[in-house]
């Protein structure tokens, strides 16, 4: 009997858990873990993680002061909450955790650099080294420029919300550690735009990640590719051999319960034999190529807006919880 798909995938690819659920990480034992504002918001609403949320809120209130507005305390708390979950995750996974910069800074290079440094400083304070943290930044031109500065400082970056080859090339030219092309979101766009269904190797998301992977390996870039945002295990199987794949607990469970042969689909050796043309991507080229790619334009904008909305939801939830904590605080004697 063949090994299950998850066991076979691990022989080709680093498996990463795409979740803020610590219990799921204990179950599937991934090498690394990624989080984003939506995942942290979802995890923060789970009863088992309420003590983490409350601890972060109390610490934020102490730092800002009891007279500060609840909204200001909640804003600081959300920044700390992602790190709090990250520290819990790193107690389980042997590799790295990705922690995201506020997506509302996606077009602000200086703001992104400042918050990334703050994230790393907080991990440093907890005794967690730079080699175990990836700072997630949206793949805008401004985000890529921020990542270039940060990488030179030894802060490793994960460029997320990546939908087009132009974004991937600019990120690799900037020397980023890792990029996260969004497979499922690309598929969603094409299904809606064409009215067609796609399976296997014809999946536009699979095709996009394959192009990025082959381009990097053809030209010897050190930047790694981590496929993300999967809709089904068929997409994952088509990308077996990709440097890393970040997978939700639901799809990890499906891979683990499926017995079938899993051939390797991507490899550096095969990529180096392909007739691929090198593309120069400066800002003018980036802007032109992005404007010409309706899918990348739509999905980058939608992704930034979605993650930003998740943070607003999280801040609202934290402010409400802070009021509840204040109401139950023992009166001063």
Written out in words, the top-level CATH class of the domain with range 5-327 is: alpha beta
Taking 60 as the threshold, does the pLDDT of residue 331 lie above it?
A: no
Taking 80 as the threshold, does the pLDDT of residue 321 lie above it?
A: yes
Instruction: From 94, 116, 243, select the one nearest 179 (Cα to Cα).
Output: 243
Segment 67-95, tens digit of pLDDT: 667 777 877 888 899 999 999 999 999 99
Pick the catalytic residue from 87, 136, 218, 265: 136
Segment 132-180, tens digit of pLDDT: 999 999 999 999 999 999 999 999 999 999 999 999 999 999 999 999 9
Q: Is 19 left (phi over 0), alpha (psi -120 to 50) or beta?
A: beta
Instruction: Pinpoint the alpha helices (H) of 34-162.
Output: 37-44, 50-64, 70-90, 109-125, 141-152
Q: Is 313 left (phi over 0), alpha (psi -120 to 50) or beta?
A: alpha
Instruction: From 58, 97, 96, 108, select the one nearest 80 (Cα to Cα).
Output: 58
Residue 192 annotated in active site:
no
% pLDDT > 70, the chain:
97
Would you say 238 and 203 are in contact if contact means Cβ atoms under 8 Å apart? yes
Structure pTM? 0.93
How far is Cα 274 from Cα 284, in angstroms, rounded to an integer? Answer: 27
Strand partners, 136: 100, 158
3-state helix, strand, coil in the chain (%, to 5): 60, 10, 30
Q: Where are the domains of the chain?
A: 5-327
């Amino acid at each position: 009997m063949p090994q299950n798909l998850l066991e076979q995938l691990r022989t080709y690819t680093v498996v990463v858990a795409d979740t803020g659920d610590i219990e799921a990480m204990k179950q599937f034992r991934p090498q690394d873990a990624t989080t984003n504002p939506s995942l942290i918001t979802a995890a923060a609403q789970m009863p088992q993680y309420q003590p983490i949320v409350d601890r972060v809120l109390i610490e934020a209130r102490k730092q800002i002061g009891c007279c500060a507005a609840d909204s200001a305390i909640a804003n600081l708390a959300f920044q700390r909450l992602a790190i709090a979950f990250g520290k819990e995750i790193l107690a389980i996974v042997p590799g790295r955790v990705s922690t995201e910069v506020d997506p509302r800074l996606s077009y602000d290079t200086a703001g992104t650099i400042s918050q990334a440094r703050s994230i790393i400083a907080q991990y440093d304070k907890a005794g967690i080294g730079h080699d175990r943290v990836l700072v997630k930044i949206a793949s805008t031109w401004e985000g890529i420029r921020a990542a270039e500065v940060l990488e030179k400082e030894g802060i490793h970056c994960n460029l997320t919300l990546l939908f087009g080859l132009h974004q991937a090339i600019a990120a690799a030219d900037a020397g980023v550690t890792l990029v996260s092309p969004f497979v499922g979101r690309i598929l969603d766009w094409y299904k809606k735009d064409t009215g067609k269904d796609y399976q296997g190797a014809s999946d536009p998301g699979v095709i996009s990640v394959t192009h990025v992977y082959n381009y990097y390996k053809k030209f010897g870039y050190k930047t790694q590719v981590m496929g993300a945002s999967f809709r089904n295990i068929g997409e994952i199987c088509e990308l077996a051999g990709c440097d890393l794949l970040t997978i939700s607990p639901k799809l990890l469970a499906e891979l683990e319960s499926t017995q079938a042969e899993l051939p390797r689909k991507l490899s550096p050796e095969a990529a180096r034999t392909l007739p691929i043309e090198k593309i120069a991507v400066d800002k003018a080229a980036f802007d032109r190529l992005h404007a010409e790619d309706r899918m990348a334009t739509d999905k980058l904008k939608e992704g930034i807006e979605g993650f930003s909305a998740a943070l607003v939801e999280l801040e609202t939830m934290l402010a409400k919880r802070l009021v509840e904590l204040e109401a139950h605080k023992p009166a001063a004697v």
